[in-house]
Amino acid sequence: MAGAILAAESFFQRYGDEIAGAGLTLIVAFALAAAVHRTLGRSVGAGAHRLATAVAGGELSARADTRLRFVRRAAEAVIILIGITLAVAQFTALDRLASTVLASSVIAAAVIGFAARQVLANAIAGIVLAITQPLRIGDLVTFEEQTGTVEDVSLTYTWLRTGSDARLIIPNERLAAGILRNDSIRSPTVALEVTVWLGAQADETQALSVLNALDEAEHARIAEVTEMGTRVLVAGPPVAPAQRLEREAALRARALGALREAGIARAGG
């Protein structure tokens, strides 16, 4: 027991300055990362984005907000990584151990690189999304038949808030490689379009006449004919992206109700 205490005292006497320097470096790094988060983040409520809005001269656009969030997280990660590197560099007396570690660094790098491939791929895809911005904070998007509002774009994942207030978390690599529908970009409005299916024996001409007579519909057209029935697209007037889901549901219900009242058979009905 006494030997262990003496060994510990000897260790701290020998490396005390390095340990203190490394600890101070880490504290400064985490403090800087926290300062970046408080300055550019949303965690401070009404005071959030003070610096960014001052630079932008007003409210942040969705494009600027998306890039700002990504830059904030990237800056935090870089600051912490540099802090850890500088902290390790304080131990100048560990040259022999460093040489041993360096000798096996190639194998270690290969193992770590393979294990972290998915994380790195998501991070790189996040950079691509932040630069090209096919989606922005607040956009209404549809990805793989899931529709929601973009709530956050992090280094590795994108968060969507669905109409039921659930959260859909998509890896950035998958999002960057997939087909994305964005109803909020480059246009203040989006067209309404819903699908209804008619039975195989239904009168398509009568169905189109009924659907085109709807006040909520601008036009209806046959999109596809299969053995199971006929698919009809019913288009409505353009609306704000935030209203699309609600208005499409209302248009679909009205179209189905009109077909039912006219006695026109629907697929599966």
| Whole-Å CA distances, 73 to 16, 44, 134, 174 | 33, 16, 19, 20
Answer whether residue 109 is part of any domain.
no
Choose one of 103, 118, 139: the last residue of a domain. 103
Residues 10, 60, single domain; the answer is yes
Q: What is the CATH number of the domain that holds 200?
A: 3.30.70.100
Residue 92 to residues 18, 84, 96, Cα–Cα distance (Å): 8, 15, 10
Q: pLDDT-based confidence at 44, cuts 50/70/90?
A: very low
pLDDT, one tens digit per residue, over 193-203 is 898 998 888 88
Residue 268 lies in a domain: no
Q: Express each pLDDT in 18-34 by its tens digit.
A: 667 777 777 877 788 77
How far is the C-alpha of 53 from the C-alpha of 73, rounded, in Å?
18
One domain for residues 250 and 174: no
Domain housing 204: 190-261
Residues 160 and 207 in one domain: no
Would 28 be classed as within a structural domain?
A: yes
Residue 117 within a domain: no
User: Considering the entire predicted model, what is its pTM?
Assistant: 0.53
User: Where are the extended beta strands (E) located within 90-164?
Assistant: 140-143, 146-153, 157-162
217 and 173 housed in the same domain: no
**161 in the same domain as 88:** no
The mean per-residue pLDDT over the stretch 70-74 comes to: 75
**Within-domain flag for 112:** no
If asked whether residues 98 and 8 sit together in one domain, one would say yes
| Same domain, yes or no: 140 and 199 | no
Based on the fold, state whether residues 178 and 206 are members of the same structural domain.
no
Residues 23 and 98 grouped into a single domain: yes
Number of domains present in the structure of the chain: 3
Residue 121 lies in a domain: no
DSSP code string of 131-146: HH-SS-TT-EEEETTE
Q: Which of 46-50, 59-63, 95-99 has the lowest mean pLDDT?
A: 46-50
**Residues 223, 172 within the same domain:** no
18 in a domain, yes or no? yes
Residue 64 has pLDDT above 50, yes or no: yes
Report the CATH number at residue 171: 2.30.30.60
- Look-up: residue for tokens 């549809």? 142
